Chains A and B, each alone.
Chain A
Amino acid sequence: MPRDIQHTVSPGVWTLAWRRLWRDRVAMVSLAIVALFLVMMVLSGAGLIAKDWAKEVGVNYAPPTFQGPDVETAASGAAAGGPAAEAAPDQPTELPVQDPLADALAAIRGETKKAPGAESAGTESQNVDPLAEVMADIRAKGTKAEVAEARAPTLPLGGDKWGRDVLKKTIKGSETSIFVGLAAAVVAVFLGTVFGALAGYYGRWLDDFFNWFYSVFTAIPYLLLILAVAAVLQQKGTMTIVLILGLTGWTGVFRLIRGEYLKHKGREYVQAADAIGASNARRMFVHIFPNVSHVVLVQMSILTVAFIKSEVILSFLGFGVPVDVVSWGSMLNEAQNELILGKWWQLAAAGTAMAVLVTAFSLFTDALRDALDPKLK
């Protein structure tokens, strides 16, 4: 009598896909690169690297270290500074105008610190320049507003116009750009999947409604849609960009998922689920969804890449990240006018980083799609 009949469990879709991927060298390299960027993103987000990207550590437009310091620009920069205001302010012009803060300033300068409410009436200076003493005091102490830190003449990947480190900006920028790409993709895929599922599964008037909505949405020129959504949301931060991209990018996913749900609706396993009393919602999301999840995943991947690139265009249009945030889009935008001045490093750094990530991501997406395709032998 046969003992221990080996029960071979058929490998599932995901296991098969993973095996195929593992064998594909290009896919593995791409995945490694993407993982590297993601790690960088997490580290940057946690503040472990590139935290002080905004610090001005170099001279303005510091060249990359391998190129060597730029003596000419420094010299012409100083000369082109022109008749700018001197470091120490001149004595203010004397005028018979009363300064409401005269006594406060005197108190600051003086020994006794008076509370603002307890001013005595007679000490307000009248027809004398109220700040003369304060200014003399400051000049006597030789105060320079900031401790002049030594600014590096070169930086590893160069510096931008303020002297910020391009390498750190690129790393921090990757955090923003990748986050925007991923988050927007999540929003878009979520909307597209829900709409597509509802439309494909229920059919009839719900399908008509969603189709109508889809037609209207795709009929309006994409540029106008972006500008309109941007105007509605105002410019409150990085999340605005995520929403702009997400709220306008769901249409492709919708089409695909709707098609999938239409296809699966009539399949036997769905009828079986109906027979055991599963509700509509359960059927949609517990039974059918796992069978379309590979499409969803691939779409997420595609959209992430697309949105990372779109962020650059949004920055150009002026709807990019706020001023205290850096992204690849904002760097490329700044770099526009720098190339003509011979300052190529910010363009190269952000451009290359983005190209590497997008290439790796795209190649990986291709491999993923091939791996998940059940038609492939």
Chain B
Amino acid sequence: MSAYIIRRIWQMIPTMLGVIVLVFILFNAVGGDPAYVLAGKISSAEQIANIRRQLGVDQPYYVQLWIFIKQVLTADFGASWSTNEPVSHILATRLGPSLTLLVPWLILSTLISIGLALAVAYVRASLTDRMVMIACTVGLSISILVYIIVFQYVFAYKLGWFPVQGWGDSFWQNLVIYASLPIIILLVVSIAPDLRLYRTFVLDEVNQDYVRTARAKGVSENRIMWVHVLRNASIPIITQVMATVPGLLIGAFLLERFFSIPGIGREVILAVERSDFPVIKAITVYVAAATMIFNLLADLMYKAVDPRVQLK
């Protein structure tokens, strides 16, 4: 097992290197030159040159690339080019709000989706099943943008049940008051596809021989569902969840934008607009690392739950 883990970690290095080089090339080829915006209203060529020197972008590419690699190893990406805030500080402060949104949502979404999937599996192939699935399909065919606009207008403005936007100081205040509507929107958008998928996983299990055997032995339907089927269906479900987690951080940028939540997604968009390379670098590298680590964890969990699985 440990040999497997070591080999996997070893394999992360060329991947990380690939990410670094790719990001570097992409940014330098197309990233845009921040010096002109930083230079201000009235600036001469020498001021531009000065700024570029200060930012370190006037050095040859291989030097810049080497600096980038060193930054990854020391996990120190310097300071934002536009606000001078240390990148580590940016990430540390923005991570909180993003997680306040995503962790509760992840927990709720998984629990609800699994619960509903099992419930639907009870009545599989019936009209209810069909209706629910069609409702899900309709639900996921509406763009998240539409949900956000309409929900913010109806529930926050017209009905006044939630604040229209904003973020507070204390964790509980944020969780209960400000994050509620965004989390609800996320749930509405995610439960539909998740339910469809988990239903497939559950049905795959329900059709297996061991379930028929259990029924023949007289085990109650409840126990079959909640103990046996759930245990086996949880493997693909967990894999699925783990694989999508790293992408979530940035993925919630639409909500952060509309609800003025100071999270990582919003920060990324700001950084791209301002060609703020240190921030883009740091976020890319961290998300890439998180993706690889979560994939590894998913595989390990897979093996832990199902000993038959052979890890290559």
Contact = CB atoms under 8 A, between A and B. Distances in A.
Interface of A: 26, 212-213, 215-216, 218-224, 227-228, 231-232, 305, 309, 312-313, 316-317, 332-333, 335-336, 339-340, 347, 351, 354-359, 362-363, 366
A362 B143 contact: no
Contact of A362 (B15, B22, B141, B272): B141
A218 B16 CA distance: 11
B142 interface: yes
Contacts of B288: 219-221
A26 B272 CA distance: 45
B134 to A, nearest CB: 7
Residue with the highest number of chain B CB atoms closer than 10 Å, among A26, A220, A347, A357: A220
A313 B14 CA distance: 32
Given A215-B15, A354-B141, A221 B268 contact: yes
Contact of B15 (A219, A312, A335): A219
A355 B139 CA distance: 8
A313 B247 contact: no
16 contacts: A212-B14, A212-B15, A216-B15, A219-B291, A220-B284, A220-B288, A222-B251, A223-B268, A223-B269, A224-B23, A232-B29, A313-B143, A339-B150, A358-B141, A359-B138, A362-B137
A357 B181 CA distance: 28
B143 A332 contact: yes
A347 B146 contact: yes
Interface in B157-195: none
Nearest to B146: A351
Given A224-B280, A313-B145, A351-B142, A219 B287 contact: yes
Contacts of B140: 358, 362
B198 to A, nearest CB: 15
B30 A231 contact: yes
Contacts of B236: none
B39 interface: no
B149 interface: yes
Contact of B137 (A219, A224, A332, A359): A359
A334 B14 CA distance: 44
A318 B194 CA distance: 29
A198 to B, nearest CB: 18
A224 B284 contact: yes
A303 to B, nearest CB: 14
A336 B149 contact: yes
Contacts of A221: 246-247, 249-250, 268, 283-284, 287-288
A351 B145 CA distance: 10
Contact of B272 (A227, A355, A356): A227
Nearest to A223: B250
B108 interface: no
A223 B150 CA distance: 24
A239 B18 CA distance: 28
A51 B142 CA distance: 27
B253 interface: yes
Contact of B31 (A223, A231, A316, A359): A231
Contacts of A313: 143-145, 254
A8 to B, nearest CB: 29
A216 B145 contact: no
Residue with the highest number of chain B CB atoms closer than 10 Å, among A228, A312, A333, A355: A228
A232 B141 contact: no
Contacts of B15: 212, 215-216, 219
A359 to B, nearest CB: 5
Contacts of A218: 291
Nearest to A218: B291
Contacts of A339: 149-150, 153
A172 B176 CA distance: 44
Residue with the highest number of chain A CB atoms closer than 10 Å, among B149, B247, B283: B149
B58 to A, nearest CB: 21
B65 to A, nearest CB: 16
Interface string B262-283: 0001001100100000001001
A228 B19 CA distance: 13
Contacts of A26: 130, 134
Interface string B6-30: 0000000011101100110011011
Given A221-B287, A339-B153, A215 B268 contact: no
Given A354-B142, A358-B140, A366-B133, 8 more contacts: A212-B18, A221-B284, A221-B288, A224-B284, A228-B26, A316-B254, A347-B146, A357-B141
Contacts of A355: 138, 141-142
Contacts of B255: none
A313 B247 CA distance: 16
B18 A215 contact: yes
Interface in B94-144: 130, 133-134, 137-138, 140-144
Contact of B134 (A212, A216, A363): A363
B35 interface: no
A283 to B, nearest CB: 24
Residue with the highest number of chain A CB atoms closer than 10 Å, among B32, B145, B153, B280: B145
Given A224-B284, A227-B272, A219 B19 contact: yes
Residue with the highest number of chain A CB atoms closer than 10 Å, among B18, B141, B144, B269: B141
B268 to A, nearest CB: 6
B298 interface: no
Interface in B222-265: 246-247, 249-251, 253-254, 265
Contacts of A224: 23, 250, 268, 272, 280, 283-284
B152 to A, nearest CB: 9
